[in-house]
Amino acid sequence: METLISKFKKVAPKAALLMAVAAGAALQGCNKSGGESDKAVDSDAASAVYVAPGEHDELYSFLSGGFNGQVSVYGIPSGRLLKIIPVFSQFPENGYGYNEETKPMLQTSHGFVPWDDLHHPKLSRTDGMADGRWLFVNGNNTPRVARVDLKTFETVEIMEIPNSAGNHCSPYPTNNNEYVIAGTRFSVPLDMKGGTADVSMEEYKDKFRGSISFIKVDKEDGDMELDFQVLVPGFDYDLANGGKGPSNDWVFFTTYNTEKSGTLKELGASQNDRDYLAAINWKVAAKYAAEGKAHEMPANYYHNKLDHGSFQAKSEVKKTVRYLLPEECPGMMYLIPAPKSPHGIDVDPSGEYMVVNGKLASSLPVFSFSKMQKAIENKDFDGEVNGIPVFKYESVLQGEVKEPGLGPLHTEFDGKGNAYSTMFVSSEVVKWSLKDLQVKDRIPVYYSPGHLMIPGGDTEKPYGKYLVVMNKITKDRFLPTGPELMHSAQLIDISGEKMKMLLDFPTVAEPHYAQAIQADLVAPNSVKFHKLDENTHPNAVKNEKDVSVTRNGKTVTVKMTAIRSHLTPDNIEGIQVGDTVLFHVTNLEQDWDVPHGFAVMGANNAETLIMPGATQTLRWVPKQEGVYPFYCTDFCSALHQEMQGYVRVSPKGSNVPIKFRMGEKKPVPPATASVN
Amino acid sequence: MKKYPSNPSESMMNKLFKPLRLAVTAMLFSTVLFSCSSGDGENTAATGQGESGLANQSEAPAADDGKGIGPVTSVEVGEGVDEALAAEGKTIFEGKCSACHQLSDQKIVGPGLAGITDRRKPEWIMNMVINPEEMTKKDPEAKKLLAEHLTQMTNQNISESDARALLEFLRQNDQNS
């Protein structure tokens, strides 16, 4: 085990100097530490990101949490963490995925899956611009697409994607959320029942297929519905991006492993000099599906929705899925040869240029949408794959950015004719011009950047003031915390000709993509509390006099209330060992930022955190007799500590009756008899 | 940097208070501005002198006409009790107030409410119901109550008309006792 001290000894100043001098082969990691980073930071950086106490940030940014299955919300430019939104993972902080209301959100055809690998947040759109209504995110591991409501910053819908594996190429909304599109990274042998078949790996080339799912989004409430899928050749579909303006009807997908190698992909999937950029006209696809070109197959996938009024999630199991075959749908899908193992595909604000970031390519190819249209007209093809026409590379290429850096991964745009690309291997962001494809500026970042984000950088009108770059390695940037470090993001000023490094901030788990939006499109709609009158939870009690404890067989239902600073009832008796006790707690507050927590000793899940006006349910099965305290976990008032109570648990079959109370009856003074 | 209302009731309060605000602000001669009343999030570093808290309170005595601070400046109260209105008030009381207040003189979380309509002006009662945070920061009687009970009265987002009904219910309670 290498300790920090031994490491310091090893890389003492002399070594650091040597490393700095050693130009050339850019190493991941320590080569950029020390002096160079200081030079990159401008002297007025602190004031550029300073948001005084009580002031608010200009922008919200939503960073994917990667392997924590969450989205984290940061203020820009301060880099302050504002919130963590659990999506695919249980979250003990508020009971998401632990309480009875939200458990159905994590149901899948594989059972309860309380974790996922969340990669790409995408904001919903109106006329091609982020509208601040919803955030769509993908679950990579157990293929799912989720929708977060930006009124409450809560996950309100999760849909499983059948016929998919490694749902990486996802979720990409079209310019009016007509569809959210999700492609599979791993091709799999489809059993044509929505799952995968038991097939020998040797049959990869023949039996494995990919799928691209078209999820319809309801214009009013955002509800998703899997409309149809396109079954595509068995490559790996990596990333996607939608067109805009002239290319509005198109969505583009990078592919790798066009070799269809099933083993040692590191080598096997890097044989071909060119893989493909797949182009699908989603309007044509939707038309084919509507016209009855779609086939139907059995499927088995979960669709989970949270109801705003009752705070309850419900799961529905869907049993069929429709699919299109590209070979039967001419004009729907084309392939563009793209240099070696492309990763990011990014369409510029004009909708004319498609930039493909080839991980292993030495140049950045820029394709032209108008040339592509011409090539379709002229049938300028170079063969076909599974009935899908392949363009001639030169006929669709606008040009290449030469020697942009090592390991280009992603590109975003500033709306002023510039593109910014991350270079994973050489750890830098490179600014280049769309006009002449010449490199204009570079800035080192720490270290190994993946995605980068310019607020609105994937729309027609980027907010070209900031760039956030998300780094995969963090060594040396913050105080050490053992071998594992928080990942990091860096904020760069792109308002001038030269990029300026403004800020480092740690991120929760590995951030992949991010999206940002002006605060005034989201903040005014933020829900402050839920109206008690509108709470339709079947076990809500809106009035302390209506609280109850009732037994039905082995299930005891406790309907209770919370308000500063007591729980009603706070004494419960008559529970027996082995009972299932359901605490339905309603928070009676009608005030902002006064949630009440509820926790009971020995519960095998988490607490639950109840927002003002809402009802949440904690399930508890006591295993031993005794007296168990419960209490409020979220500080609420000077008497918060006193917000507690007891449950008495008696042996199984005991004759202690169900009894509950809050407050002892005291004689009412004669002068103050109650009304009527 | 943009600012947003830091308090749920603030935008509503701003609307309600507009006419009153000028008067109140004029009355205050210290730096404790109306907009600072919600305490959190409003103060910038530059104007942070207006922090709330007991230590700063004495600087800003509000003119005390016994009506409290809030949207209600005058209330018409009939000779007898409007029974229908009181019944409406009873329902609201049971939903939003009874968790913390008894109708007797017995304290639970907050004070018992017996006799309140004799102790306080009707405007004060309604302002306390509608605007509890500002009241416990600025109104001398409400400040004393907070010091005694140590729990900030919750803002239950009660409208002016609902507060009027509650007042009638409390009048009924006192007249019947």
- Residue from A662, A568, A668, A543 nearest B102 by CA: A668
Burial class (CB in 10 A: 0-12, 13-18, 19+), A185: buried
State the residue for tokens 């984000």: A453
Backbone angles phi, psi at A515, to 5 degrees: -135, 150
**Rg (chain B; Cα; Å):** 17
CB contact under 8 A, B156 and A589: yes
Strands A154-160 and A169-173: unpaired
- How confident is residue B64, by pLDDT bands cut at 50, 70 and 90? confident
CA distance, residue B4 to nearest chain A CA (Å):
7
CA distance, residue A114 to nearest chain B CA (Å):
34
Positions of chain A with pLDDT lower than 70, given as ranges: 1-40, 665-676
Quickly count: other Cβ atoms within 10 Å of residue A205's Cβ.
11
pLDDT tens across B85-123, in order? 999 999 999 989 998 999 999 888 899 999 999 999 999
CB contact under 8 A, A524 and B4: yes
Bridge partners for A134 per DSSP: A149
Instruction: Give exposure, A544-561, as e/b (b: 16+ Cβ within 10 Å).
Output: beebebeeeeeebbbbbb
The interface pTM score, or ipTM, of the predicted complex is 0.72
Distance from C-alpha of A109 to C-alpha of A317, rounded to nearest angstrom: 8
Backbone angles phi, psi at A105, to 5 degrees: -65, -30
Q: Is the peptide bond before A565 cis (omega within 30 degrees of 0)?
A: yes
Residue of A588, A591, A642 to mutate, interface with B, max B Cβ within 10 Å: A591
**Closest chain B residue to A562, measured at CA:** B99
Which residues of A fall within a CB distance of 8 Å from B6?
54
Distance from C-alpha of A259 to C-alpha of A264, rounded to nearest angstrom: 12
Q: Specify the pLDDT at position B61.
A: 52
Tell me the average pLDDT across B14-24.
45
Residues in chain B: 177
CA distance, residue A589 to nearest chain B CA (Å):
6
CB-based contact, A520 to chain B, within 8 Å = yes
- Residue from A474, A454, A258, A440 nearest A348 by CA: A454
CA angle A38, A39, A43 (to 5 degrees): 80
Question: Which SS3 state, helix, strand or coil, does residue A537 take?
Answer: coil
- Residue from A266, A195, A281, A186 nearest A230 by CA: A281
CB-based contact, B49 to chain A, within 8 Å = no
Distance from C-alpha of A165 to C-alpha of A194, rounded to nearest angstrom: 11
Q: Specify the pLDDT at position B72.
A: 96
DSSP chain B: -----SSTTHHHHHHHHHHHHHHHHHH--SS--GGGTT-SS---STTGGG--SHHHHTT-PPP--SS-SSS-------SS--HHHHHHHHHHHHHHTTTTB-SSS-BSSS---TTHHHHS-HHHHHHHHH-HHHHHHH-HHHHHHHHHH-SPPP-----HHHHHHHHHHHHHHHHH-
Distance from C-alpha of A607 to C-alpha of A601, rounded to nearest angstrom: 10
**Closest chain A residue to B44, measured at CA:** A54
Mark which residues 606-645 of A lie under 8 Å from B by CB: 637-639
Choose the closest CB to A54 out of B41, B157, B169: B41
CB contact under 8 A, A638 and B150: yes
In the β-sheet with A439-444, what is the strand arrangement from edge to edge?
A: A408-413, A418-423, A428-433, A439-444
Residue of B156, B168, B171, B173 to mutate, interface with A, max A Cβ within 10 Å: B156
Distance from C-alpha of A241 to C-alpha of A331, rounded to nearest angstrom: 19
CB-based contact, B53 to chain A, within 8 Å = no
Residue of A51, A55, A544, A639 to mutate, interface with B, max B Cβ within 10 Å: A55
Query: CA quadruple A41, A42, A43, A45: dihedral positive or negative?
Result: negative
Distance from C-alpha of A345 to C-alpha of A535, rounded to nearest angstrom: 44
Backbone angles phi, psi at A183, to 5 degrees: -110, 155
Helix axes B160-176, B83-96, angle to 10 degrees: 100
Give the Å distances, CA to CA, from A170 to A111, A182, A408: 22, 4, 20
Strands A188-189 and A179-183: unpaired
- Can you give the pTM of this predicted structure? 0.87
Distance from C-alpha of A556 to C-alpha of A544, rounded to nearest angstrom: 19
Helix axes B160-176, B122-130, angle to 10 degrees: 130
**How far apart are the two ends of chain A, measured CA to CA in Å?**
77
**Rg (chain A; Cα; Å):** 28
Q: Per the structure block, which two tokens stand in for A261?
A: 């190698």
Q: Specify the pLDDT at position A272.
A: 84
Distance from C-alpha of A647 to C-alpha of A634, rounded to nearest angstrom: 20
CA angle A396, A400, A402 (to 5 degrees): 170
- Tell me if A595 sits within 8 A of A610, measured CB to CB: yes
Does the pLDDT value for residue B16 go beyond 50?
no
Query: CA quadruple A577, A582, A588, A592: dihedral positive or negative?
Result: positive
Mark which residues 78-107 of B lie under 8 Å from A by CB: 90, 94-96, 98-100, 103-106
- Tell me if A666 sits within 8 A of A591, measured CB to CB: no
- Tell me if A41 sits within 8 A of A34, measured CB to CB: no
Does the pLDDT value for residue B34 go beyond 90?
no
CB-based contact, A546 to chain B, within 8 Å = no
CB contact under 8 A, A639 and B2: no
Distance from C-alpha of A240 to C-alpha of A255, rounded to nearest angstrom: 9
**Closest chain B residue to A75, measured at CA:** B1
CA distance, residue A451 to nearest chain B CA (Å):
27
Q: Could you tell me which residues come within 8 angstroms of residue A407 by beta carbon, excluding any fewer than 6 positions away? A: A359, A360, A423, A424, A425, A426
Stated as kind and residue range, the H or E segment containing A204 is helix A204-207
Q: Specify the pLDDT at position A363.
A: 85
Question: Which SS3 state, helix, strand or coil, does residue A621 take?
Answer: coil
Q: Per the structure block, which two tokens stand in for A528?
A: 């402050």
Q: Specify the pLDDT at position B62.
A: 53
- Residue from A511, A628, A515 nearest A579 by CA: A628
**Closest chain A residue to B94, measured at CA:** A543
Q: Per the structure block, which two tokens stand in for A628?
A: 């168990």
CB contact under 8 A, B99 and A55: no
Distance from C-alpha of B1 to C-alpha of B115, rounded to nearest angstrom: 49
pLDDT tens across A225-238, in order? 999 999 999 999 99
Quickly count: other Cβ atoms within 10 Å of residue A671's Cβ.
10
Distance from C-alpha of A308 to C-alpha of A155, rounded to nearest angstrom: 11
CB contact under 8 A, A564 and B94: no
Q: Could you tell me which residues come within 8 angstroms of residue B120 by beta carbon, excluding any fewer than 6 positions away? A: B66, B68, B128, B141
CA distance, residue A628 to nearest chain B CA (Å):
24
